[in-house]
Amino acid sequence: MALNAIIVDDQKNSRELIKSFCELYSNGVIQIVALCPSVDTALEAIKAHKPDLVFLDIDMPEKNGFELINSFDVLPFEVVFVTGHANQYTKAIEISAMNYLMKPINPLNIKAIVEQFENKNAMVNTVNRNEILKNNLKGNQTTILFPSNDGFTVVDTSEIISCQSQNGTGKCTIVTTNDNIVIHKYLKDVLLVLPESIFIKISSSAIINKKKIVSFNSKTYTVKMSDGSNIKVSDAYYNKTKLIDALAN
């Protein structure tokens, strides 16, 4: 399976580097059909080549990468965002189940992107990830897309009760009002994509939704959640006063 790809970056050396990494590390899967220095030239190239994949620099001087994204209601291609530093944009991208590369680019990440496509072809757009990304960029975070072997699992943040690690396996169980979902992420990585105003980490193995707490037992130092579960609070994270303050805010 070959993927036609376009690289959009205002820096020539970055365009050439990504191109060379794709040629060296994608085993011929990624075929670069255009190198674009701006959003406007990229839109022309997308129209001409109809790519499967676009490597898109976020930080460009005239128009940034998100202005290209805003040109589409539903993206007709996969996007790999490219950025020089982690920020609120990368969090929004992760929440929307989209890929990104950090500069300086590790060529092994190119191989990882290829493997994703080989394992599941292109992601099925039963959910408009572009619309979710736009909402997340505005701070309207109501939906998280967690990557899975077959694509991604869509989770409404208001339905999450707790997130609990599975004993150092690199997996977490997301407990929701409808189902339990097992994802391949460490708990610390899950915490990064959850709304800070609603979720708190109460131990090394548990994150809870403050709005789903029914009661707190000071004798057992546990919180009872809306699903009936009792989750231990670690005193290494919160004493009683700090816990009350955290739950109240």
What's the CATH code of the domain at 102? 3.40.50.2300
Residues 162, 227: Cα–Cα separation, whole Å: 10
Q: Are residues 126 and 159 in the same domain?
A: no
Which pLDDT does position 10 carry in this prediction? Answer: 95
Quick one: pLDDT at residue 170? 82
Q: Say whether both 124 and 155 belong to one domain.
A: no
Question: What is the pLDDT, as a whole number, of residue 132?
Answer: 75
* Closest residue by Cα to residue 206 from 236, 241, 248: 236
In a domain, 91, yes or no: yes
Predicted confidence band at 126 (pLDDT cuts at 50, 70, 90)? very low
Note whether residue 23 is domain-resident.
Answer: yes
The domain in which residue 83 lies consists of 3-132
Same domain, 28 and 123: yes
Claim to verify: residue 157 and residue 122 sit in the same structural domain: no
Q: Is residue 143 part of a domain?
A: no
Q: Is the pLDDT of residue 140 over 50?
A: yes
Q: Look at residues 99, 132, 165 and tell me which one is the last residue of a structural domain.
A: 132
Full-model pTM: 0.66
Residue 144's pLDDT band (cuts 50, 70, 90): confident
The predicted structure's pLDDT at residue 67: 92
Instruction: Specify whether 120 is located in the same domain as 155.
Output: no
Q: Of 76, 99, 132, which marks where a domain is finished?
A: 132
Residue 88 pLDDT exceeds 80? no
How many Cα atoms are found within 13 Å in the side-chain-facing hemisphere of 28?
A: 1
Residue 138 lies in a domain: no
Mean pLDDT score across all residues of the chain = 86
> Is there a domain that residue 233 lies in?
yes
Structural domain count, the chain: 2
Do 194 and 158 reside in the same domain of the chain? Answer: yes
pLDDT tens digits, one per residue of 153-205:
788 889 999 999 987 788 899 999 999 988 888 898 888 888 888 999 999 99
Give the list of residues 6+ apart from residue 179 with CB closer than 8 angstroms, or none: none
Name the domain boundary from 71, 105, 132: 132
Q: What is the mean pLDDT of residues 48-56?
A: 94
Q: Is 176 a domain residue?
A: yes
Rg (CA), the chain: 21
Kindly state whether residues 165 and 203 are assigned to the same domain. yes
What distance separates the 2 farthest-apart alpha carbons in the chain? 67
pLDDT band at 139 (very low <50, low <70, confident <90, very high): low
Same domain, residue pair 61 and 107: yes
> Is residue 145 domain-resident?
no
**Residue 7 sits in the same domain as residue 127:** yes
- The answer to whether 195 and 141 are in contact (CB under 8 A) is yes
Residue 10 lies in a domain: yes
Same domain membership, residue 156 and residue 117: no
The CATH number that applies at residue 177 is 2.40.50.1020
- Segment among 39-43, 131-135, 216-220 with least mean pLDDT: 131-135
Q: What would the DSSP string read from start to end of the chain?
A: --EEEEEE-S-HHHHHHHHHHHHHHSTT-EEEEEEESSHHHHHHHHHHH--SEEEEES--SSS-HHHHHTT-SS-SSEEEEEESS-SHHHHHHHHTT-EEEESSPPHHHHHHHHHHHHHHSSPPTTS-HHHHHHHHHTT---EEEEEETTEEEEEEGGGEEEEEE-TTSS-EEEEESS-EEEES--HHHHHHHS-TTTEEEEETTEEEEGGGEEEEETTTTEEEETTS-EEEPPTTT--HHHHHHHHH-
113 and 171 inside one domain: no
Domain identity same for 10 and 126: yes
The reported pLDDT for the residue numbered 185 is 82
